[in-house]
């Protein structure tokens, strides 16, 4: 259609024609469909916040979730946050990664460019009591996902790993090349899955896999429409504090008050969920723009350690609400002090956490206020 017969054209005409071709190709590139991303576990706490950032970043998103610890309302709230226009680029499928047919149906109808894999169970204490449940959900589901991705030639993944793979590190901050020594079944599932990812990529070099070892996610979307609101008694600190604040639970159990730390409570690296979501976007863009990724791990944290009791005090200051505390024995599988070195992520992903949650927990407070407006009928104020 656009072939040229060079001897019929003057240099001026040739330059014009080549310029036209260049602009036309650039136009087609601009209007080409956006990259399609599958987000497993996308109705969960970190998943919903990441989906918001994906949609705002111009990606087309498909969520698969089995609602084991999430609700459809979370997906509806994502649509409210991004608005009707961007919501056109979001679809949802209820399904379970352990059922390969659910994945086959998704991949057979959509050509995905990459997968962000959140789906899995994540409570340390529960994993100690129910290890088989964790091996079933986390390992079997992920193996199925790899098989179906390979079948449909989708070989880019951002994997939701965890700082629990470090166990109790010999020194801090944790660096990505530290010895991995998970201390509980949950952490071991993440460690096993990291090893599986490395083995797959080594055998099939066309795979690009980024392992994001994130530390302790807290906070909420600034709109108050999204946040961590788990079913049952929470396993993570901030939703537990929130539920005490709104009167759902009578007191906060602090597990461990005799650690060799500044106030006796465990120290963690609390990263705001919006920073974490942006970290996933940075990792995804790295997959699309860099060739020599292989299988690479990155810490996502703040690089600062904050104790459990310091987080409680910060919430009380931000909310004006006193949180009753019950000091309890340590939980099995919990480390004393863990926080991240973020140098690799800052250098290679151009990502850095911007919100230090030890000093700013306004997001969770806003979520608690939003809940008082009708979701649960409970008031924070």
Smallest CA-to-CA distance from 210 within 160, 154, 158, 142 is with 158
Q: For position 319, what pLDDT does the model report?
A: 83
186 is catalytic: yes
Distance CA 191, CA 232 (A): 27
125-154 tens-digit pLDDT: 899 999 999 999 999 999 999 999 999 999
Q: Tell me what percent of the residues of the chain surpass a pLDDT of 70.
A: 83
The mean per-residue pLDDT over the stretch 270-277 comes to 93
Give the three-class secondary structure for 156. Answer: strand
| DSSP conformational letter for 359 | T
Give me 277's structure tokens.
Answer: 């979501």
DSSP result, 52-116: HHHHHTT-EEEEEE--SS--HHHHHHHHHHHHHHHHTTEEEEE--TTSHHHHHHHHHH---SEEE
**pLDDT level of residue 121 (50, 70, 90 thresholds):** very high
Is pLDDT at 371 greater than 50 in this prediction? no
Choice among 134, 186, 214, 259 that is catalytic:
186
Q: Which residue has the higher pLDDT, 18 or 332?
A: 332
Burial class, 175, CB count within 10 angstroms (exposed 0-12 / middle 13-18 / buried 19+): middle
Contact in structure between 137 and 121 (CB atoms under 8 Å):
yes
Asked if the model's pLDDT at residue 206 lies above 90, the reply is: yes
- Domain boundaries defined on the chain: 11-374
pTM of the model: 0.83
Could you tell me which residues come within 8 angstroms of residue 299 by beta carbon, excluding any fewer than 6 positions away? 163, 174, 175, 176, 213, 214, 215, 340, 341, 342, 344, 345
| pLDDT tops 60 at residue 179 | yes
Fold (topology level) of 11-374:
Rossmann fold (3.40.50)
Strand, coil or helix: 135: helix
Residue 160 banded pLDDT, cuts 50, 70, 90: very high
Q: Name the pLDDT band for 370 (thresholds 50, 70, 90).
A: very low
Confidence of residue 81 (pLDDT cuts 50, 70, 90): very high
Looking at per-residue confidence, does 33 or 241 come out higher? Answer: 241
């Amino acid at each position: 259609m656009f072939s040229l017969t060079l001897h019929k054209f003057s240099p001026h005409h040739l330059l014009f024609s080549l310029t036209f071709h260049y602009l036309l190709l650039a136009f087609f590139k601009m209007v080409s469909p956006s990259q399609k991303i599958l987000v497993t576990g996308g109705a969960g706490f970190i998943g919903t916040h990441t989906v918001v950032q994906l949609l705002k970043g111009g990606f087309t998103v498909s969520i698969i979730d089995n609602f084991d610890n999430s609700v459809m309302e979370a997906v509806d709230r994502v649509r409210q946050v991004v608005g009707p226009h961007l919501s056109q680029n979001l679809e949802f499928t209820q399904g379970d990664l352990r059922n390969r047919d659910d994945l086959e149906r998704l991949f057979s109808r959509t050509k995905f460019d990459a997968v962000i894999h959140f789906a899995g169970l994540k409570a340390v204490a529960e994993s100690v009591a129910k290890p088989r449940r964790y091996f079933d959900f986390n390992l079997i589901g992920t193996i199925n996902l790899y098989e179906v991705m390979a079948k449909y030639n989708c070989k880019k993944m951002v994997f939701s790993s965890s700082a629990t793979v470090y166990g109790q590190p010999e020194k801090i901050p944790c660096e990505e090349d530290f010895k991995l020594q998970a201390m509980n079944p949950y952490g071991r599932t993440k460690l096993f899955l990291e090893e599986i990812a490395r083995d797959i990529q080594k055998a099939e070099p066309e795979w690009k896999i980024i392992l994001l070892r994130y530390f302790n996610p807290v906070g909420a979307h600034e709109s108050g429409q999204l946040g961590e609101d788990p079913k049952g008694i929470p396993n993570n600190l901030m939703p537990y504090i929130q539920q005490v604040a709104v009167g759902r639970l009578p007191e906060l159990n602090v597990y461990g008050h005799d650690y060799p730390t500044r106030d006796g409570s465990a120290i963690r690296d609390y990263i705001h969920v919006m920073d974490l979501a942006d970290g996933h976007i940075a990792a995804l863009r790295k997959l699309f723009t860099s060739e020599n990724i292989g299988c690479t791990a990155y810490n996502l944290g703040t690089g600062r350690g904050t104790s459990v009791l310091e987080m409680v005090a910060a919430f009380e200051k931000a909310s004006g609400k006193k949180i009753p505390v019950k000091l309890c024995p340590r939980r099995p599988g919990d480390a004393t002090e863990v926080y991240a070195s973020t140098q690799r992520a800052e250098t290679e992903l151009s990502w850095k956490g911007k919100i230090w949650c030890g000093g700013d927990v306004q997001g969770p407070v806003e979520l608690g206020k939003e809940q008082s407006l009708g979701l649960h009928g409970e008031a924070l104020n």
